[in-house]
Structure 1
């Protein structure tokens, strides 16, 4: 079963967008663009979710796929 994890290979800030892109099998640039577009009207919410994801989602080197 595939688990969500922050990426260490395609990391720009903390690896959250790259990890989401790996999980959903889409281009990381697309995820980053969506995050920036959503950040404009919902800046406090998106910033809080991103910071929470940094602490809650493990790195891909710490996750064992089963």
Structure 2
């Protein structure tokens, strides 16, 4: 079972929606749209839950393989 992390690569604000999308195997744009619609319909309750989630869910660990080597001529 995968552990939930905030995404480092698919991040717009905090990476929480990107991390949820990776964890659930869904499209991050769909998760973001659902969060926005839910925030508007819940009178801000989802925003509070989102902020708590940002505090509780850790950032994904950095991989040493994510960098691009510098270009040498």
TM-score by length of 2: 0.79
Alpha-carbon distance between aligned partners in 1 of 2:29 and 2:54, rounded to the nearest angstrom: 18
Q: 1:36 to 1:56 in 2, by over 3 A?
A: same
Q: Which has the larger radius of gyration?
A: 2
- Higher-helix-fraction structure: 1
The structure 1 segments of at least 4 consecutive aligned residues displaced by more than 3 Å after TM superposition are none
Is residue 43 from structure 1 mapped to residue 57 from structure 2 by the alignment? Answer: no
Question: What residue ranges of structure 1 are gaps of 5+ in the alignment?
Answer: none
Q: Kindly indicate whether structure 1 or structure 2 has the higher relative contact order, using CA contacts under 8 Å at least 6 residues apart.
A: 1
Question: What residue ranges of structure 2 are gaps of 5+ in the alignment?
Answer: 63-73
The number of equivalent residue pairs is 62
TM-score by length of 1: 0.87
